[in-house]
C-alpha cells in the first residue's frame, strides 16, 4: 500500500495520512465488528448502517477496494439479502489486515 501516493491524492503529507489511517483502522474495525455481529443476528438495518459508514470512511481515505466492498454489503442489506455476504465480509477483513501490515512495514 503506497501511503505517500494516497496522501498526495488528498493533498496531505504522508505523516498526516498515516495518522488518519490509524484512526480509520480504530473506528473501522469497530464498525466491522458491529457489522459482523449484526450479520450473525440477521439485523439488516444495522448491517446497512455499519457498511454505509465503512463505505464512506474508506472512500474518504481513497481505499477504493474497501469502499466498493462495503457498498456491495450496504446495498445487499438494504434489499434484505444477508445471505451470501461471506466473500465480501472476508474481503473487508483482508483489507483491514493488509492496511495493518502496511502500517507496520
Task: Give the mean pLDDT of the chain.
Answer: 96
Q: How far apart (Å, rounded) are the C-alpha atoms in residues 76 and 68?
A: 12
pLDDT of residue 54: 97
To 5 degrees, how large is the angle CA 46–CA 92–CA 2?
Answer: 135
- 60-89 pLDDT, tens per residue? 999 999 999 999 999 999 999 999 999 999
pLDDT of residue 105: 76
Q: What is the pTM of this model?
A: 0.92
Q: How far apart (Å, rounded) are the C-alpha atoms in residues 33 and 13?
A: 30
Grid coordinates representing 40 are 450473525
Around Cβ 57, how many Cβ atoms within 10 Å? 19
Low-confidence ranges of the chain (pLDDT < 70): none
pLDDT of residue 66: 97
Amino acid at each position: 500500500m503506497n501511503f505517500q501516493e494516497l496522501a498526495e491524492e488528498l493533498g496531505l503529507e504522508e505523516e498526516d495520512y498515516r495518522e488518519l489511517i490509524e484512526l480509520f483502522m480504530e473506528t473501522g474495525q469497530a464498525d466491522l465488528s458491529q457489522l459482523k455481529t449484526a450479520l450473525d443476528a440477521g439485523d439488516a438495518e444495522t448491517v446497512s448502517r455499519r457498511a454505509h459508514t465503512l463505505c464512506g470512511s474508506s472512500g474518504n481515505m481513497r481505499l477504493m477496494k474497501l469502499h466498493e466492498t462495503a457498498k456491495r454489503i450496504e446495498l445487499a442489506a438494504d434489499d434484505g439479502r444477508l445471505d451470501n455476504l461471506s466473500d465480501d465480509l472476508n474481503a473487508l477483513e483482508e483489507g483491514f489486515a493488509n492496511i495493518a501490515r502496511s502500517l507496520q512495514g
